[in-house]
A and B are shown apart, each in its own frame.
Chain A
Amino acid sequence: MGLVFRGAAEAGLGAASAADRPGPPDAVPNPTPTPPAEGADPGSSRGPGMVLKAFFPTCCASADSGLLVGRWVPEQSSAVVLAVVHFPFIPVQVKELLAQVQQASQVGVTVLGTWCHRRQELEESLGHFLEGLGAIFSHKPWFQLCRERGSKSWSCKATHWRGPASPAASGEDQVMLIFYDQRKVLLSQLHPPMALPDRQAGDTTASAGGLAAVFDTVARSEALFQSDRFNEGPVRLSHWQSEGMEASILVELAKWAAGPVCLFLACLLSLISAASSCRVFKLWPLSFIWSKLSTCEQLRHRLEQLTLIFSTRKAKNPAQLMRKDLIGQLADALIPVADHVAEELQHLLQWLMGAPAGLKMNRALDQVLGRFFLYHIHLWISYIHLMSPFIERILWHVGLSACLGLTVALSILSDIIALLTFHIYCFYVYGARLYCLKIHGLSSLWRLFRGKKWNVLRQRVDSCSYDLDQLFIGTLLFTILVFLLPTTALYYLVFTLLRLLVVAVQGLIHLLVDLINSLPLYSLGLRLCRPYRLAAGVKFRVLEHETGRPLRLLMQINPLPYSRVVHTYRLPTCGCHPKHSWGSLCRKLFFGELIYPWRQRGNKQD
């Protein structure tokens, strides 16, 4: 049998004074017949003058009188108020609801005290009645918050029952009221401060501060916020949902439509990825080409992202660059550029065939190499002129794929550069191979000159006795190679520099693509539009203060700075980083080994 308490919110309140001055504990007159025989307060030995903190949601500041429901954190001496239970209620049902919520959310939700929102008329009975509630829902400390309707004066009292040893005496503590916006704290995610460079990441979790406990409590108590004072239930609660649930017709419609649309697009994408991974594309010539073109790599990356997009919320970066007249202009510009490059190369070769930088070349070898490369340029120019009518159409079709993002357009640009400078790449390979052969021949003949030999079996240099004619021919060849070295080296140097220039340009484009890929657009958008979701900490503001009243603070969320947002939420990149260090690069250049500037991700072959 439970007692039903009449709603006494409409009536006034007794002349309970709002005294909360710190001082020696007073003996509060005890209206109920017997105080509960509770045990002593476990584990807290506080002296007088201890300040308790009460975190109060701003949405409940205008609610009617009732019971305060929330969680008490003894380590921080703070009470986090989550909701207000209105009259009339049956205590048993309130206790049942709290037990349910506690089980569902693993948060120790209890009745913390009473809340009284009164008018100017005062009544004795409500005061006694509220104090009697302390006997039914026993909690140490028992909070009594009080506010006058229409004014800004608050009062709060926190009392302890000392236990059977001194039943009449109870201590009063000073209470500090901290207001917080419940919806924002519920949705926000607190980021711990950045760990110092010389500490490991695990250390920062040890100091989970008091504010993190508050955020945690509110975030985990969703079960409590499901029913409202306007719902027909046994218990009527007031919390942030009472202000009006957030709703917008467009958002609701979009949510309904999102389901089937996502399903359809997911099916489409799975078809595309199944088609692209079929065996035809894995045959050798095609797979080699796919792995060398950065466009295909980027398309694959984009496909992966699109398949993810409809399951999680992540923003895409659409940028449609290509329009019809732009394509025409680009195509018209490409041929003269290619011609110009070829002409410059021809001038360069003529210069090399003469006396470059005042050096004297071996005329015969010079002429051979120069004519060889000039013929290649001639072939290349003819090829370009043959292709020129089709360039515009090809570019337009290729440019369609640029609607998948700026990064795809940049990758296409990188591939166009690679294709246009293909002859430079070929020249580099020829020059490097020649130079490499020469260097190897020189080193081997140098060993012969000194009477040594490379032992392939033992991978070391051994002494060896040569016949006379071997020595003679070896020395002759060595001399020839040494005197032809400057010419070959010069050609190698020139073409390597050109190739490195092209590689540098392509590398810059890839760096830009990586940067765009790894930019967390969703997090940045969230930081811009809903800054309270990403919290770096909190900030406090002292509200109007009168002497004799409790201290009131407003707790607001301090959003994360943009640099930390990018740093924390950076997306994983393609990982196309050069694998060489500077030393190995220089070594390879000196010996004429070919350098491959980057490996595409997933390319297992060497």
Chain B
Amino acid sequence: MEDEQSFSDICGGRLALQRRFYSPSCLEFCLSCPRITLRSLTAVTCSVWLAAYGLFTLCENSMILSAAIFITLLGLLGYLHFVKIDHETLLIIDSLGIQMTSSYASGKESTTFIEMGQVNDVVINEAIYMQKVIYYLCILLKDPMEPHGISQVVPLFQSAKPRLDCLIEVYRSCQDILAHQKATSTSP
């Protein structure tokens, strides 16, 4: 069962939240970030080439122009492979754990899995980000030393940065599953 909704991120870009319901104990959220636009790409390329041309008129060395082309190409490839995230996925499986996947624009995927035994809770937190105060969803991990302490905070959807309405949707579903998991867990 799938449904898709449209939200916006903290800068006003458009995000798409896809929710897949596999079973009462397994849920997946997929948040797609805004794509790279032709305008920004053109702007960066033109500025790099203008700078290179300016250097060329100073130095009269044509290697600068070829170097600028290479730099642009390599920079674009590197940006797509290492920096630009296409979509982020959150998979919650009752009694197994929570998995976060970031898919880059070049297709590379980076996955982290947290076992349910380490998860204390999933909360919405506030943070100061540059000049703004934003909300973000995070997973609180248990501290092995103290039974009720928190050892680490793992933020979710760091590249997409959705607003509060989207976070509330995800938060509600996560809490349903976590509550069910706590009710049926056997460990004291």
Contacts and interface: CB of A to CB of B under 8 A. Distances in A.
Given A537-B112, A551-B25, A558-B111, A207 B184 contact: no
Contacts of B88: none
B95 A53 contact: yes
Nearest to A211: B115
A20 B22 CA distance: 15
A527 B26 CA distance: 32
Given A209-B117, A553-B93, A203 B28 contact: no
Nearest to A549: B23
B186 A540 contact: no
Interface stretch (A39-47, A244-252, A306-314, A349-357): A39-47
Contacts of B142: 207
B152 interface: yes
A426 B51 CA distance: 51
A49 B184 contact: yes
A538 interface: yes
A75 B186 contact: yes
A13 to B, nearest CB: 26
Contact of A207 (B23, B118, B186): B118
Nearest to B26: A551
A234 interface: no
A47 B91 CA distance: 25
B113 A558 contact: yes
A220 interface: no
A204 B141 CA distance: 13
Interface string A68-85: 000000110100000000
Nearest to A203: B144
A44 B186 contact: yes
B96 interface: yes
B113 A196 contact: no
Contacts of B95: 51, 53, 77, 176
A50 B186 CA distance: 10
A178 B113 CA distance: 15
Contacts of A49: 184
Interface string B164-188: 0000000000000000000110110
Interface in A25-83: 44-47, 49-51, 53, 74-75, 77
Contacts of A53: 95-96
Interface string B134-164: 0000000010110000011000000000000
A545 interface: yes
A61 B93 CA distance: 23
A51 B113 contact: no
Contacts of B91: 540, 542
A558 B118 CA distance: 18
Given A51-B95, A209-B118, A558-B111, A539 B101 contact: yes
B18 interface: no
A210 interface: yes
Given A539-B99, A551-B25, A46 B184 contact: yes
A209 B96 CA distance: 10
Contacts of A457: none
Interface string B19-52: 0001101101000000000000000000000000
Task: Name the 6 nearest CB pairs between A and B, nearest first.
Answer: A539-B111, A206-B144, A209-B115, A207-B144, A551-B23, A537-B113
Interface of B: 22-23, 25-26, 28, 91, 93-96, 99, 101, 111-113, 115, 117-118, 142, 144-145, 151-152, 183-184, 186-187
Given A196-B152, A206-B144, 18 more contacts: A45-B186, A49-B184, A50-B184, A51-B94, A51-B184, A74-B186, A75-B186, A176-B25, A176-B26, A176-B95, A176-B96, A199-B151, A203-B144, A209-B117, A210-B117, A539-B111, A539-B113, A542-B26
15 contacts: A46-B184, A51-B95, A53-B96, A77-B95, A174-B25, A176-B25, A210-B115, A537-B112, A537-B113, A540-B96, A542-B22, A545-B23, A551-B22, A558-B112, A558-B113
